[in-house]
Structure 1
Amino acid sequence: MVGKVKMSVFSVKFQKLWLLALSFMAFSSYADKSEQRYVVLAPHIVEMLFDLGVGQRIVGATAHSDYPEEAKSIPLVGNYARLKIENILAYKPDVIFAWHSGNPSDDLQRLQQLGLNIVYSHTGDLENVAKELIEFGDIVGKPQRAKQIADEYLTQLAALRQKYSAKKPVKVFYELWSRPLTTVANSAWPQHHVTLCGGQNVFTGLIGDYPQIGLEQVVALKPQVIIQPMSDGEPNPDAVNWAQWPKIPAAKNKLIFEVNSDKLHRMTRRVLGEIDNLCSKIDIARQVYN
């Protein structure tokens, strides 16, 4: 009996969601691109759409969507752990921009089952930012603007690659998070930045893109540079004080640097300026060890 009651409650709730979805589809069939409404489920996509000049069309976003300043006033419809499905449907979006890596898969599946128009961002290499700008530009009706900024981005990226391509390798430890102690490896987004700068990640051989590690492993591998990304929106007050381990070359030579993760960890064109900053810090270490 209890099972039947639970199933009945679920059925009623699903029916309500389905009716909202039908209402959404009826609404969206009449909207042209200049009148489209977007729900955007990742901060980097919010930033991209503002870059394309359609930020005013965003009716819902997720936590940490804080750039540009206007983005802070967008109503929130969830975070990386949970989405507010009913709120999303109530906004009647024509397109939902989502991110497999940063959104709960079960909520995305429910939205998919309700027949909503979902476009996904796919984290890849640095060139992928330009590709997504072009893709999203076509979707929102801004193809010329998208091509312009994508071309500018690729030109700046090529210049960075040329600037640092012949640099001497430096052993780098990237402290993504401190509790639990987590780093980057393999295809992780920040790994591309370290590689571009000529950094040799001491943990690149581990399994997975964002492996958890132990303090003793860092000490044993003796990185020459330690990078500690910091965010205004999500600070890391427990960042490890590596000065306690003077056997680590980075600690001994005071080559422990902070970078802006709000820029560095988002797949937007702002990343290039912060990559250049990261590379400049690694260059300081080269001068020490030469």
Structure 2
Amino acid sequence: MKLAVFISALLLSLSAAAQTDVDPRTQRRLVVLAPHLVESLFAIGAGDQIIATTDHSDFPAQASSIPRVGNYARLQIEQILALRPDAVVAWRSGNPADDLQRLEKYKINVVYTQADNLQDVASELRMLGKLTGREKQAENIANDYLYRLHALKARYSKAEGVSVFYELWARPLRTVAGNSWLQQQIALCGGDNIYADIEEGYPQVSLENVLDLRPQVIIQPTTHGDNQPETINWQQWPEIPAVNHGFILHPDADKVHRMTTRMLDEIEAMCVQLDKARQFYAQDSDLTQP
């Protein structure tokens, strides 16, 4: 009998010791305010720590069942407060600043993120790994991402240019420029954006000007969501080289627009397609831009 009591006490002691070894960061309850942050947290194995998120957080599939507490324009402050999260993970340029300030006034721990450059995805992964006690997983994924990114840069960024127009939005017609996220992707593949010199990241342009500039490649991303935006039917202008020679690319917007490792799959495919266009136009100088 005494032996049984001793063994029971020993097991309870071992169980308590094991519980103290659990990293408390892996138990943090998080409200995550951007689809790309949700995706990255799932990638490092911390998806089950997300207790609420915002609209359009739909990858991986499990993310679709997470409760929503707002969108890019407005957060539901009362609902977030009621959840009593250990931290709110915010996207500095993608969430309403006034709402984030309100959360801070209520003593909510707001953790800010901001990926401005392609390589920043790795830094963001490492930060999320530290936040959730998953440094090893995050470090492995970040290193793999940087290896692939540098390989693409080494292969394509110094290649001979091919002129590109990126149709971000049709009405009004908007494109990408400056040092925007999508412009960096074009440059990585060795593309020459016809509006790269504009400082504004996502400027409005005229259709007439695009026709005059006659891009060799048109990038027209597509989305698989319910609200498919209206796009331009470029086949109306066969005089554009991109139309005449069939170089209209349709990358997955959910991949290229989000700051995640999944983006590289689509960029790699885009680089290959731009390289095919580059080789095609190089075959005959009459096909190149004047």
TM-score (norm 2): 0.86
CA–CA separation in structure 2 for the residues paired with 1:158 and 1:35: 34
**Residue of structure 2 in register with 1:160 after alignment:** 152
Unaligned 5+ runs, structure 1: 1-30
Deviation at 1:234, TM superposition (A): 5.7
Flag the 1:149–1:95 CA change in 2: closer, same or farther, 3 A. Answer: same
Say if 1:255 and 1:285, in contact at 8 Å, map to a contact too: yes
| Aligned AA (2:270) | L
* Alignment counterpart, residue 32 of structure 1, candidates 2, 13, 24: 24
| Aligned AA (2:84) | K
Deviation at 1:284, TM superposition (A): 2.0
| Aligned AA (2:162) | V
**Residue of structure 2 in register with 1:48 after alignment:** 40
Deviation at 1:235, TM superposition (A): 4.8
* Alignment counterpart, residue 230 of structure 1, candidates 219, 222, 227: 222
Percentage of matched positions with identical amino acids: 50
Deviation at 1:237, TM superposition (A): 4.2
| CA deviation string 1:119-163 (max 9, x = no partner) | 112121111000111111111111111111111111111111122
Stretches of 4+ aligned residues off by more than 6 angstroms: none
* Alignment counterpart, residue 249 of structure 2, candidates 244, 257, 263: 257
- Structure 2 matches for 1:1-290, cutoff 5 A? 32-233=24-225, 235-290=227-282
Deviation at 1:280, TM superposition (A): 1.4
Unaligned 5+ runs, structure 2: 1-22, 283-290
Say if 2:220 and 2:251, in contact at 8 Å, map to a contact too: yes
**Residue of structure 1 in register with 2:9 after alignment:** none
SS in 1 for 2:276: helix
Deviation at 1:165, TM superposition (A): 3.0
TM-score (norm 1): 0.86
| CA deviation string 1:194-221 (max 9, x = no partner) | 0000000101112310111110111111
Equivalent pairs counted in the alignment come to 260
Structure showing greater Rg: 2
| CA deviation string 1:87-137 (max 9, x = no partner) | 111111111011122111221121122221111121211110001111111
Say if 2:115 and 2:124, in contact at 8 Å, map to a contact too: no
